[in-house]
Amino acid sequence: MNKRISLLALPLILAACAVATPVPTMPPPTATRPPATATARPPTTAAPTAAPTATAVPPTATPKPAPGTGTVMTHDSFAMSNAVLAAFEAESGITVKVLKAGDVGSALNKAILTKDAPLADVFYGVDNTFLSRALSAGIFDPYAAPALRSIADRYKLDPQNRLLPVDYGHVSVNYDKAWFEAKKLALPATLKDLADPKYKGLLVVENPATSSPGLAFLLATIASFPEGSAYTWQQYWADLRKNDVRAAEGWEAAYYGDFSGSSGKGPRPLVVSYQTSPAAEVMFSEGKLSTPPTGNLDAAAFEQIEFVGILRGTKNRPAAERFVNFMLGPAVQADVAGQMVVYPVADGTKLPAEFVQFAPAPKNIVTLAPDIIDQGREKWIEAWTKIVLK
Amino acid sequence: MLAAVRSLPSAVPLALPFAFLAVFLCYPLATIGALSAAPSAVSGGELVATLLRPEAYFETVVLSAAQAGASTLLTLALGLPAAYAFARYRFRGDRLLRALAGVPFVMPAVVVAAAFAALLGPRGLANTALQGLLGLDQPPIQLLGTLPMILIAHAFYNVSVVIRIVGGFWSAIDPRLESAAATLGASRWQTLWRVTLPLALPAIGSAAALVFLFTFGSFGVVLLLGNARWATLEVEIYRQTAQLLRLDVAAALALIQMLATVALGLVNSRLQARTAAPLAMRLAADTRAAPRGPGPRALACFAAAVSLLLCGLPLAALVAGSLPLDGGLDPNSLFRYFIALERNPRGSAFFVPPLEAIRNSVTAATATAGLALALGLPLAVGMTADRRRGPVVTPALLDALLLLPLGTSAVTLGLGYIVAFNRPPLQMVGSPWLIPLAHTLIALPFVVRTLTPALRALDPRLRQAAAVLGSPPWRARLEIDLPLLAQPLIAALAFAFATSLCEFGASLLISRPEFPTVPVVIARLLSQPGALNYGQALAMSSLLMGVTAAGMLLIDRLQPNHEL
């Protein structure tokens, strides 16, 4: 009996082993760092796209080659195609080492903490909600990358070019198409509609204190219902609370735990997520879906722009510059949509078909200036917590 | 003078563990403390000012303590009978059931939340079944986001702490003590209240303290399954550091959390010292028998029910989610999320196949288990050293201090590592070694807590008898103490292994994407929308479960099996 049950527990492991191909052994952990590229990337996939990347870095940007290692500190969501990165490494002679340091806030915090002896040469992933804080901490050096020419001015939030835009996305409210069709309920058209008793108990948001889209959505409501107007954002959130809004800790919990439109079995048909989430549902459906099961409300969408910058005190400035050029160049710009589900900032970059079809630009983009966000964040989150949670 | 010289040998084994704690716990924390004392880009310099403003944290502390108290009581209520049954009775599948109860301990909170939603959510298995059976319009179970849900999830996570620690202790107690009580006319209840429970009080106290600390500092469970009203200090610390970059306020809160931990530890070790009695320890295999009579049978059934219903059902819901049935039983469809784990269709640069992630996890867990035992055993021996020879440090204080890693804010410690180990002599940020080292810190209290009650209960007369018979002390330790300690030692190993697999707070360190562990891969998959990502995350979680269960069973097999 005992053995029989043991056998039942094994298929899980066996299933993995059956499909597994032999992989190189992980080198024993050593105090000295192993070369960054040793095990993770099979070199075979590098060749095909080497050519397009060669044009990514303008030859004028760095006159002499900058070999050695370039270290990039970033948040956990950073992703890139193997081929694109390998081509950059081959072409520049730079070995790219990536350090992931938690979510955006945590990663930035770690960069600020280590500003006297920076852990990396480049930091990628500061967004407009943290831009002011990052700049005032003085951890970035200016760099007027040539590729800035092909980026629209609206994304360049730092006139001194200490932080250079790479990509952007929008935080918006997704809805469960099947749920609204089944209930024959009209979609909420505005933020204000979400506080309508018709939509009671349908919305899940993220806690702005612990979640980046949560904060972005709070900022969207602050931009839409400013203090001093007839109807303030504080009143709005009090009304949302009356309407039984649920505040989840993070995006994962909200989207997969509470939202009914995706793969989780949540109860709520409205969720604060990204404008690109419906497109991602199709991209990551194993080809089973041709249209997304979810859609975006036309209510306010908050624009999040992500930046890259050279860390002050870098020991390899030429490599740092080449990496920044690379991030702003055509190869990475064409890659970000497929890898990180965000829009590239460079003009004329080709987007994946799913993006064109299912992630159109939001109708109603709102934003707030970075310095206003920085001054307000702490007291806004404090107030939000009192209104919604206490 | 003579006493000092004689206490020297017991100081030697303590030196290494102390050095470890000093370097990997105290030094990074002190670094953060020093940084946050003065105003800077990351600190308002209000460390002391925050401490003097109790209204800033009082409510959080009280609510967390109430929640943790309730969680601990529920966990004990479910865990103690199960622990007794596993310790005393042999029944079909007992080892597997006990291993199953240990699996939740290592599951990442996000995955557990998904499992409970799949089971108890409004559209979950339980509600769908009940609605179908009873013909109801509304789902009858509405637990998500409530306090009971938090308590159930905490019991789910921690019941194995009670089963391992108290069960490990019970299984080493001579069952003839209970038989003697019965012979002397005690009823079953009297035996329970007067003999069985009091004997195990030190172990129960140990387990309760650990469960309390875990739930007091609970981060993921509270917010994913409950609501932010029950947010703990750790959540507030995270908020202050990651969102507000207020290291000073975070450090103050972390200090309060540590003080609360030491206070709890002091109370606990006082209780322990008062309740510990030298007992005739027995080999675990000698103490178990088939359950005879209705009472023992009911207990064995209860233990099985705790394993299967509390721990097994949510895990089963998880596995069910990783095996899509829409393509029938065709293995290519049924296992497609597992198969997809091996593929990298988007050619992502940081893709890692599951076996490699599992290997990384198991390597780190094995290193942690070895390190934690190597440091924890001498520490436990030193702490329980014969009092007459004068202990090196007050055991009560040491005992309390040893809980500190569990009460330490992982967020704060993670930042401390980055600052403290980013300069000579310890330049090791990003080193793969930091992961098992950080895990050892968390595993150490478990190891020590599991070993000390058993060590205190060792009857010194056995060793004295050996000495009288001419045996050198080391031999008495090796041949008498060690076999008697087998069960608690195995429990300690299992904990250290499991602690590392579930990766407490290691994501708060700086990680190299080339060496992700399983929980890191799961978190990465869950961070993007889409059925494939979600399915793969559940598949990876199922693999983690399988590895854990296999590891636990393997560790159980290490036990010397003296069939009589």
CA–CA distance from A174 to each of A241, A261, A273, B310, B535 (Å)? 19, 9, 6, 34, 20
A132 CB-side CA count, 13 A: 12
State residue B9's pLDDT score. 54
Least confident of A82-96, A360-374, B533-547: B533-547
Position A194 confidence tier, pLDDT thresholds 50, 70, 90: very high
Residues 6+ apart with CB under 8 A from A166: A124, A306, A307, A308, A327, A328, A332, A336, A344, A345
Q: What is the DSSP letter of A26?
A: P
Task: Using the predicted structure, report yes or no on whether residue A35 has a pLDDT greater than 80.
Answer: no
Q: Could you state, in order of their start, the residue ranges of all structural domains in chain B? A: 2-557
State residue B276's pLDDT score. 65
Range with the largest mean pLDDT of A9-13, B21-25, B40-44: B21-25
Contact criterion met (CB < 8 Å) for A82 and B351: yes
| Per-position b or e across B200-231, b if 16+ CB within 10 A of its CB | bbbbbbbbbbbbbbbbbbbbbbbbbbbbbebb
Sign of CA dihedral B142, B146, B148, B153: positive
Contact criterion met (CB < 8 Å) for B526 and A252: yes
Shortest Cα distance, chain A CAs vs residue B304, angstroms: 13
Q: Please give the CATH architecture assigned to the domain spanning B2-557.
A: Orthogonal Bundle (1.10)
Contact criterion met (CB < 8 Å) for B429 and A119: yes
Contact criterion met (CB < 8 Å) for B419 and A339: no
User: What is the average pLDDT across B142-159?
Assistant: 86
User: What is the average pLDDT across B104-116?
Assistant: 77
Task: Using the predicted structure, report yes or no on whether residue A331 has a pLDDT greater than 90.
Answer: yes
A327 CB-side CA count, 13 A: 25
- Alpha helices for chain A (secondary structure H): 2-9, 11-19, 50-54, 82-92, 104-113, 131-136, 177-183, 212-224, 233-242, 251-252, 277-283, 317-328, 330-340, 353-358, 370-384
Set of chain A residues whose Cβ sits within 8 Å of the Cβ of B351 = 40, 82
Task: Using the predicted structure, report yes or no on whether residue B508 has a pLDDT greater than 90.
Answer: no
Three-class SS state of A14 = helix
Q: Tell me the two tokens of residue B156.
A: 């789910």
Most B CBs within 10 A among A110, A130, A277, hence the mutation to make, goes to A110
- A282/A288 Cα distance (integer angstroms): 8
| Per-position b or e across B33-56, b if 16+ CB within 10 A of its CB | bebbbeebbbbbebbeebbeeeeb
Position B430 confidence tier, pLDDT thresholds 50, 70, 90: low
- Antiparallel, parallel or unpaired: β A203-206 and A246-248: parallel
**Residue B59 Cα to chain centre, angstroms:** 26
Task: Using the predicted structure, report yes or no on whether residue A8 has a pLDDT greater than 60.
Answer: no
ω into residue A58 within 30 of 0, thus cis?
Answer: no
User: What is the average pLDDT across B454-478?
Assistant: 78
- A205/B116 Cα distance (integer angstroms): 20
Report yes or no: B390 at the A interface, CB cutoff 8 Å: no
Could you report the per-residue pLDDT of A213-228, keeping only the tens digit for each? 999 999 999 999 999 9
- Percentage of chain A beyond pLDDT 70 is 83
State residue A192's pLDDT score. 95
Contact criterion met (CB < 8 Å) for A256 and B526: yes
User: What is the average pLDDT across A342-361?
Assistant: 90
State residue A5's pLDDT score. 37
- A53/A90 Cα distance (integer angstroms): 10
Task: Using the predicted structure, report yes or no on whether residue B495 has a pLDDT greater than 90.
Answer: no
Q: Tell me the two tokens of residue B267.
A: 């109370």
Contact criterion met (CB < 8 Å) for B339 and A19: yes
Among B176, B96, B154, B520, smallest CA distance to B314 is for B154
Provide the 10 A C-beta neighbour count for residue A311: 23
Contact criterion met (CB < 8 Å) for B349 and A2: no
Q: Tell me the two tokens of residue B319.
A: 């596995």
Among B362, B359, B369, smallest CA distance to B558 is for B369
Position A294 confidence tier, pLDDT thresholds 50, 70, 90: very high
State residue A50's pLDDT score. 36
| Per-position b or e across A197-215, b if 16+ CB within 10 A of its CB | eebeebbbbbbbbbbbbbb
Q: Tell me the two tokens of residue B117.
A: 């939603």
Position B449 confidence tier, pLDDT thresholds 50, 70, 90: confident
Task: Using the predicted structure, report yes or no on whether residue B266 has a pLDDT greater than 50.
Answer: yes
CB B166 within 8 A of CB B200: yes
Torsion of CA A221, A222, A228, A230, to 10 degrees: 0
User: What is the average pLDDT across A369-380?
Assistant: 91
CB B517 within 8 A of CB B435: yes
- A39/B155 Cα distance (integer angstroms): 40
CB B537 within 8 A of CB B408: no
CB A73 within 8 A of CB A120: yes
Most A CBs within 10 A among B223, B224, B245, B371, hence the mutation to make, goes to B245
State residue B278's pLDDT score. 63
State residue A63's pLDDT score. 45
Position B11 confidence tier, pLDDT thresholds 50, 70, 90: low
| Per-position b or e across A260-298, b if 16+ CB within 10 A of its CB | bbbbbbbbbbbbbbbbbbbbbbbbbbeeebeebbbbbbe
User: What is the average pLDDT across A57-73?
Assistant: 63
State residue B228's pLDDT score. 67
Contact criterion met (CB < 8 Å) for A84 and B528: no
Could you report the per-residue pLDDT of B361-410, keeping only the tens digit for each? 888 889 999 999 999 988 888 777 655 444 445 666 777 777 888 888 87
Q: What is the pTM for the complete model shown?
A: 0.79
Write the residue in B96, B356, B524 that is nearest to A5 by C-beta: B96
Contact criterion met (CB < 8 Å) for A20 and B353: yes
Least confident of A350-354, B368-372, B432-436: B432-436
Most A CBs within 10 A among B238, B249, B514, B515, hence the mutation to make, goes to B514
Per the prediction, chain B carries an average pLDDT of: 80
Contact criterion met (CB < 8 Å) for B229 and A390: yes
CB A210 within 8 A of CB A250: yes
Task: Using the predicted structure, report yes or no on whether residue B176 has a pLDDT greater than 90.
Answer: no
Write the residue in B244, B354, B429 that is nearest to A16 by C-beta: B354
State residue A328's pLDDT score. 96
Could you report the per-residue pLDDT of A151-163, keeping only the tens digit for each? 999 999 999 999 9
Tell me which of B295 and B558 has the higher pLDDT: B295
Could you report the per-residue pLDDT of B341-357, keeping only the tens digit for each? 888 777 788 788 888 88
Chain B residues 22-41 with a CB less than 8 Å from chain A: 35, 41
- B504/B109 Cα distance (integer angstroms): 10
Among B81, B106, B8, B20, smallest CA distance to B372 is for B20
| The one-letter amino acid at A7 | L
**Number of cross-chain residue pairs from A and B with Cβ atoms under 8 Å apart:** 284
State residue B496's pLDDT score. 85
- B549/B541 Cα distance (integer angstroms): 12
Contact criterion met (CB < 8 Å) for B507 and A2: no
Contact criterion met (CB < 8 Å) for A100 and B512: yes
User: What is the average pLDDT across B488-502?
Assistant: 81
Position B106 confidence tier, pLDDT thresholds 50, 70, 90: confident
Contact criterion met (CB < 8 Å) for A2 and B96: yes
Range with the largest mean pLDDT of A328-342, B43-57, B451-465: A328-342
Q: Tell me the two tokens of residue A12.
A: 């899980």
User: What is the average pLDDT across B62-80?
Assistant: 93
CA–CA distance from A382 to each of A178, A203, B59, B145 (Å)? 36, 21, 15, 21
Number of residues written out for chain A: 390
Tell me which of A69 and B564 has the higher pLDDT: A69
CA–CA distance from B376 to each of A32, B245, B398, B432, B479 (Å)? 27, 35, 13, 22, 20
Q: Tell me the two tokens of residue A181.
A: 């069709």
Tell me which of A266 and A13 has the higher pLDDT: A266
Residue identified by tokens 């006297």 is A116
Could you report the per-residue pLDDT of B151-160, keeping only the tens digit for each? 999 999 899 8
Report yes or no: B532 at the A interface, CB cutoff 8 Å: yes
Write the residue in B114, B223, B235 that is nearest to A256 by C-beta: B114
**A302 beta partners:** A171, A366
- Percentage of chain B beyond pLDDT 90 is 8
State residue B386's pLDDT score. 56
Report yes or no: B311 at the A interface, CB cutoff 8 Å: no
Tell me which of B266 and A157 has the higher pLDDT: A157
Contact criterion met (CB < 8 Å) for A77 and B527: yes
Contact criterion met (CB < 8 Å) for B546 and A12: yes
Report yes or no: B243 at the A interface, CB cutoff 8 Å: yes
Tell me which of A180 and B46 has the higher pLDDT: A180
User: What is the average pLDDT across A339-366?
Assistant: 90
CB A112 within 8 A of CB A139: yes
CA–CA distance from A28 to each of A33, A40, B369, B502 (Å)? 11, 15, 16, 20
Position A19 confidence tier, pLDDT thresholds 50, 70, 90: very low
Position A209 confidence tier, pLDDT thresholds 50, 70, 90: confident
Set of chain B residues whose Cβ sits within 8 Å of the Cβ of A252 = 110, 526-527
CB B513 within 8 A of CB B97: no
Tell me which of B302 and B452 has the higher pLDDT: B302
- Comparing alpha-carbon positions, the chain A residue that sits nearest to B91 is A2
Set of chain A residues whose Cβ sits within 8 Å of the Cβ of B338 = 15-16, 19
Exposed (0-12), middle (13-18) or buried (19+): which is B19, by Cβ within 10 Å?
exposed
User: What is the average pLDDT across B25-50?
Assistant: 82
Torsion of CA B197, B198, B202, B206, to 10 degrees: 30
- Comparing alpha-carbon positions, the chain A residue that sits nearest to B429 is A119
Task: Using the predicted structure, report yes or no on whether residue B184 has a pLDDT greater than 70.
Answer: yes
| The one-letter amino acid at A28 | P
**DSSP run (H or E) holding B328:** none
State residue B6's pLDDT score. 47
State residue A38's pLDDT score. 33
User: What is the average pLDDT across B214-242?
Assistant: 78
SS3 assignment for B103-157: CHHHCCHHHHHHHHHHHHCCCCHHHHHHHHHHCCCCCCCCCCCCHHHHHHHHHHH
CB B361 within 8 A of CB B436: no
User: What is the average pLDDT across B287-306?
Assistant: 86
State residue B210's pLDDT score. 85
Tell me which of B387 and B178 has the higher pLDDT: B178
Q: Which domains does chain A have, with CATH numbers?
A: 47-168+304-351 (3.40.190.10), 170-303+354-389 (3.40.190.10)
